[in-house]
Amino acid sequence: MSPTAEPTVVVVPGLRDHVADHWQTLLAERLAEAGRAVRTVPPAEGNRLRLDVQVGNLAATLAPLDGPVLLVAHSAGVITTVHWARRHRADVCGALLATPPDFEAPLPDGYPTPAELAENGWTPVPRTPLPFPSLVAASADDPLAAPERVAGLARSWGSRLVELGAVGHLNPASGHGAWPSAEELIRMLESGSARLGVTRTGGRP
């Protein structure tokens, strides 16, 4: 991709509020400091557990942007992204999809139940190929999704699987803040090298 066509990076958080030490927050700050165009989908107003609220919020963030965009989604933001891709179109040159949760299996205590997720439109999770290149970054010990389930989603979406090792859910609760590998994976998407296969990244983020 030529420098003049550098995409706007659009950060798609999960269901959380703003967290200062989350890797998505830190990534957006680093990219902005480097002169990149960055937008972050803000926390949804109203019932944020409603899928249509989350998809609408992503669509509203993308609507005013000109030129190509690159999506960087985490957790429930990944599921929002794949649902959005079934309903909408934009000039998306790629998507980094980090640690998607398995919304079709029971989650740990404190998370929505399968029934609540179904009632709010999250399931079934789309399994059609995405219309843009994508990387699915998977953790070996994610409490919200078994590795084989994430690998199956990656295959269904036509995504390249990136194995991160044991990084939990790749969030501050798992002991992780900055994730420098995210920028490497963004460059991979921008260069067009995100093809089917498996990539392994070593060690902690």
Q: What is the pLDDT of residues 106-165, one digit of tens each?
A: 999 999 999 999 999 999 999 999 999 999 999 999 999 999 999 999 999 999 999 999
Cβ–Cβ < 8 Å for 9, 67: no
Q: How far apart are CA 58 and CA 126, in angstroms?
A: 17
For 176-199, the pLDDT digits (tens) are 999 999 999 999 999 887 665 555
- Nearest CA to 84 out of 116, 108, 61, 118 is that of 61
Give bridge partners of residue 161 from the DSSP assignment. 136, 198
pLDDT of res. 199: 56
pLDDT of res. 201: 57
55, 162, 2, 67: CA torsion to nearest 10: 0
Residue 189's identity, in one-letter code, is L
Look at phi and psi of residue 84 and say left if phi exceeds 0, alpha if psi is from -120 to 50, else beta: alpha
**Residue for token pair 């859910």:** 169
pLDDT of res. 5: 67
Q: How far apart are CA 192 and CA 68, in angstroms?
A: 14
Cβ–Cβ < 8 Å for 93, 190: yes
State the average pLDDT over residues 40-60: 93
Q: What is the pTM of this model?
A: 0.92
